[in-house]
Amino acid sequence: MRFGVFYELQMPKPWDAESERRIVHEALAQVELADRLGFDYAWCVEHHFLEEYSHCSAPEVFLAAAAARTRRIRLGHGIRQVIPNYNHPARTAEGLGMLDLVSDGRLDFGIGEGATRLELGGFKISAKEKRAMALEAAEQIANMMVLEPYPGFDGRWFTMPARNV
């Protein structure tokens, strides 16, 4: 059996000027403790515009800070929004590569597509087409990370010229 911690960075109202800073730093301290106690993983979500539910719109920043404070625990995107309207696939592939380097190979990667009207609508994503958008992007993110050079892509939801990613 494996044990881990999972962060949404939830913050119910009322808030004060220090609330977000405090919750982020408390969560990072918990990840440090989990590392010392032998927990297997710490994952952080990506959500947008969900004020009380999640204050984690940039999990890659949280995970980089966690990587700098820990030695053994695996760190994961649980999940990264992969639809191009949220995050361009090349930026996702580049970010994953950098996080894997910063964490000395301790990165895990989970993908998602978003579910709420607040998130989807905020980035003008069709709820009916989100699955197809996510699958197209996920396939190309994987290709960008293993093909050298990446041959480029002209898809339905995004285009990318040939580049070494």
The predicted structure's pLDDT at residue 31: 99
CA separation, residue 123 to residues 47, 49, 111, 114 (Å)? 12, 10, 17, 10
Strands (E), the chain: 4-7, 41-44, 74-81, 107-112, 153-154, 159-160
Confidence of residue 28 (pLDDT cuts 50, 70, 90): very high
This model's pTM is above 0.85 = yes
Average pLDDT, integer, range 15-28: 96
Domain of residue 37, residue span? 4-160
CA neighbours closer than 13 Å in the CB half-sphere of residue 73: 29
Average pLDDT, integer, range 84-90: 97
| Domain membership flag for residue 71 | yes
How do residues 105-135 score in pLDDT, each as one tens digit? 999 999 988 889 999 999 999 999 999 999 9
First-to-last CA distance in the chain? 36
CA distance 48 to 113: 12
The mean pLDDT value of the chain amounts to: 96
Q: DSSP state, 150? A: B
Number of domains making up the chain:
1
| Domain membership flag for residue 165 | no
| Domain membership flag for residue 130 | yes
In this structure, what CATH number is given to the domain that contains residue 138? Answer: 3.20.20.30
The predicted structure's pLDDT at residue 114: 85
